[in-house]
Amino acid sequence: MTTVPRQEPEPHAKAELVPFEDGDFHVLAPALARDPQYNDRRLAVRRKLLSLGKVFVERAKSAGVELDARTSLHNPHAFNHNQVKRMWVYACRAKKEKSRLKQTIGADLAKDLDSSYRNAYLTVALENDALEIALRIHADAWYDGQNMKQRVTKEGVAVWLALLNALPGYRLRLHDWKGEWICGKLTREKLEEYLKYYVPAEHACVVERRIAAPQGARAEVLDAQFPKRAVAELEALLPLYRFSAWSQESDFLFPGR
Predicted confidence (pLDDT) per residue in 57-114, tens digit: 999 999 999 999 999 988 878 777 778 999 999 999 988 877 777 777 766 665 665 6
Weakest mean pLDDT among 21-35, 72-86, 99-113, 210-224: 99-113
**Binning pLDDT at 50, 70 and 90, where does residue 3 land?**
low
Q: What is the mean pLDDT of the chain?
A: 90
**Total domains in the fold of the chain:** 1
Q: For residue 31, give its domain range.
A: 22-244
pLDDT, position 64: 94
Residue 7 resides in a domain: no
Give 161-178 pLDDT, tens digit per residue: 999 999 999 999 998 887
Q: At residue 1, does pLDDT exceed 60?
A: no
Q: What's the confidence (pLDDT) of residue 114?
A: 61
Q: What string of H, E and C letters represents the secondary structure of the chain? A: CCCCCCCCCCCCCCCCCCCCCHHHHHCCCHHHCCCHHHHHHHHHHHHHHHHHHHHHHHHHHHCCCCEEEEECCCCCCHHHCCCCCEEEEEEEECHHHHHHHHHHHCCCCCCCCCCHHHCCEEEEEEECCEEEEEEEECCCCHHHHHHHHHHHHHHCCHHHHHHHHCCCCCEEEECCCCCEEECCCCCHHHHHHHHHHCCCCCCCEEEEEEEECCCCCCHHHHCCCHHHHHHHHHHHHHHHHHHHCCCCCCCCCCCCC
10 lies in some domain: no
How confident is the model over 35-54, as a mean pLDDT? 96
Asked if pLDDT for residue 159 goes beyond 80, the answer is: yes
Domain contains 101: yes
**Higher model confidence: residue 207 or residue 249?**
207
Q: Does residue 32 or residue 249 have the better pLDDT?
A: 32
Domain of 162, CATH number, reads 3.30.930.20
Domain for residue 224, yes or no? yes
Rounded percentage of the chain residues whose pLDDT exceeds 90: 74
Does residue 3 belong to any structural domain of this protein? no
Average pLDDT, stretch 138-149?
93
Let me know if residue 252 belongs to a domain. no
